[in-house]
Structure 1
Amino acid sequence: MSDASLSASQTQPGDASFGDFFALLKPRVMTLVVFTALVGLLVAPGAVNPVIGFAAILFIAVGGGASGALNMWWDADIDRIMKRTRGRPIPAGKVSEGEAFGFGMALSGISVVMLGLATNFVAAGLLAFTIFFYVVVYSMWLKRWTPQNIVIGGAAGAFPPMIGWAAATGSVSIEAVLMFALIFMWTPPHFWALALFMKGDYHEAGVPMLTVTHGRRSTRNHILVYTVLLAPVALALAFTSIGGPLYLAVALFYSLLFLKGAWEIWRRDEDMAEADGYATEKKVFKHSLYYLFALFGALWGEAILTYYGVGGWQILSVLV
């Protein structure tokens, strides 16, 4: 029996600390969830009471964390195998699988009910569907069944700005759909870049990531194609009610940078990648994280300009 399995088997209820349960929430992933949901709420038309807005983001964050806890509960077996995930609370023997399941289910119920009471049941329904999609559709079904796991499963991570928008408006519009589409199209090249230099982990765990089922050459091709498809989606937001020249400039710059990285990944073979320790792949993966923060930050910037009555397109028309 491995050290991880031994420690897990010796986990006793009540041994876990607050930090162990917090780690179940996947706080780094939650940062992106909270940020994109917050932007979705802030760029939506109309004013939102700050207290209601705070409650909405809090319960969206709790729902995102609940998804993470339930994902760790279900994936505990493969988390014990993968080097990247062996330190998580369950494989490390800090939290039992039963505790993680109960924690995740409790937070799921609390987050959905409280979001509905604080805002509206459109937002609550979207949050409930997001948790279901991530845990059942992605974690339990797609992740271990098809190399398209990241493509389809990426929808779960794309819902937060739509939920934020719905919390503010009680509805969904083209702007919310495009914010969803932006994250949805970004997810595959982002995770495939990671998979290129983490292939061994997925292979050992039996996860049919594209790098495992089709090889790294095919994965490089897919990264380039999806990055090309991502660019027009990102730029389209500039011409909606929440966009403007500031967002357009940021989206254009970062999309070109992402495309450049995808092109560099596509041109490389395995000998080149192994020779420099997959430096390019790691660089593109890191940049892809900045990509979403930059674009959603620019949308927030456009909302601030609009709030002060100086929309970006108005400024540009004056300058021209």
Structure 2
Amino acid sequence: MHNSQSASATPADLGSAVAASSAQVENSANEQVSTFARVRETVGAYVALTKPRVIELLLVTTFPSMILAQGGMPDLWLVLMTMIGGTLAAGASGVMNCYVDRDIDKVMNRTKRRPLATGQISPRNALIFGWVLTVVSLAWFLVFINWQSAVLTAGAMAIYIVGYTIILKRRTAQNIVWGGLAGCMPVFIGWSAVTGDLSWGAVMLFLVIFFWTPPHYWPLSMKFKRDYANAGVPMLPVVAADKRVAVEMILYTLAMIAASLGVYVFEHEKMTIVYPIVALVLGAWFLFSCVQMYRKAAAGEKKIGEMKVFHASITYLTLLFIAVAVDVFLPF
């Protein structure tokens, strides 16, 4: 009977069985690929909530500050631990910002694709994620760095989440000026990680970023002023003419240049004459870009090159802090 049944199997039956088996394998493989794609997409969405590009800029100022505080290369393990803690803290602040601003992010073209605005991540999950990062980052600084850096980190997060995002952003045109204090704190955090305290050199670096923030962010606000207006956010370019904004940018830039030279005044024993020369050249270059924008705004031109100034501001800060780091190692 068994042999009879085996003999009755035709080549067509065998082909169908092979085809069915292949289809099952293919479906299983597709399901695995689909699951992997969904996981990757979800992880990417959570990462996007942390605002990675902002984190990069914050870390650019932290490492050079640590080098200047040390007067040379600090312990690399300390640098790594500080960078990890800073990444976690900045990421937590970014997530909380997205959580609070999820309503206005939906109506702004620049932010409408953020995971909370699209519904890819729920507000509850984002809030949990933000709190987890907050707790972990503060614990990280307490365990691996010191209590001073942990306190400064908590202060930076409070300024950004409560001070800027919740209180200032929707109430005053000076929101980014005072809210920008949070972006200055990585200098203090990195410095205190190395020395356990602060100095006037750290204060000058802090002021560089404080005065840099308005001429960095206001050009971006000019580009997206309609978005901010629709969202009811009174950024200065929304409530003031471009000419006035450009004037204030020039004034802040002059103060920024003075602070950058102040770094050398207080830390000249660790630095060479190369740094103030580089700081002056970079400052003059960025000031010129702001003056050009003012001239175009004063002439009533529609295209005043605001995004050119925005990108120039990032280049300026990056090169200035590279100069801070490199100058310490110069042999003269």
Match of residue 41 from structure 1: 66
Moved more, 24-33 or 219-228: 219-228
The reply on whether 1:97 has 2:123 as its aligned counterpart is yes
Match of residue 24 from structure 1: 49
Match of residue 315 from structure 2: 290
- Offset at 1:273? 3.6
- Structure 1: how far apart are the matches of 2:257 and 2:244? 21
Match of residue 291 from structure 2: 263
The reply on whether 1:229 has 2:229 as its aligned counterpart is no
The reply on whether 1:70 has 2:77 as its aligned counterpart is no
- Structure 2: how far apart are the matches of 1:209 and 1:40? 30
Gaps of at least 5 residues in structure 2 are 1-38
* 2:278 aligned counterpart, secondary structure: helix
- Offset at 1:26? 0.4
Quick one: which amino acid aligns to residue 26 of structure 1?
K
8 A Cα contact 1:16 1:95, kept in partner = no
The reply on whether 1:117 has 2:147 as its aligned counterpart is no
Would you say how many aligned residue pairs link Structure 1 and Structure 2? 291
8 A Cα contact 1:178 1:237, kept in partner = yes
- Offset at 1:270? 7.5
Match of residue 129 from structure 1: 155
Quick one: which amino acid aligns to residue 254 of structure 1?
L
The reply on whether 1:206 has 2:232 as its aligned counterpart is yes
| 1:160-309 alignment, distance < 5 Å | 160-241=186-267, 242-269=270-297, 272-274=300-302, 276=303, 278=304, 280-305=305-330
Match of residue 25 from structure 2: none
* 1:44 aligned counterpart, secondary structure: helix
- Structure 2: how far apart are the matches of 1:142 and 1:281? 24
- Structure 2: how far apart are the matches of 1:119 and 1:32? 21
Cα deviation 1:269-302 (Å, max 9, x = unaligned): 377542x4x4x22211110000110110001002
Moved more, 142-151 or 264-273: 264-273
**Aligned CA-pair RMSD:** 1.8
Q: 1:133 to 1:281 in 2, by over 3 A?
A: same
4+ aligned runs moved over 6 Å, structure 1: none
- Offset at 1:195? 1.6
Cα deviation 1:150-196 (Å, max 9, x = unaligned): 11111000110110010111111111111111000000111111122
8 A Cα contact 1:193 1:223, kept in partner = no
- Offset at 1:15? 10
Moved more, 231-240 or 59-68: 231-240
* 1:268 aligned counterpart, secondary structure: helix
Match of residue 184 from structure 2: 158
Q: 1:55 to 1:210 in 2, by over 3 A?
A: same
8 A Cα contact 1:73 1:100, kept in partner = yes
Q: 1:155 to 1:210 in 2, by over 3 A?
A: same
* 2:117 aligned counterpart, secondary structure: coil
- Structure 2: how far apart are the matches of 1:304 and 1:78? 47
Identity of aligned residues (%): 35
8 A Cα contact 1:20 1:89, kept in partner = yes
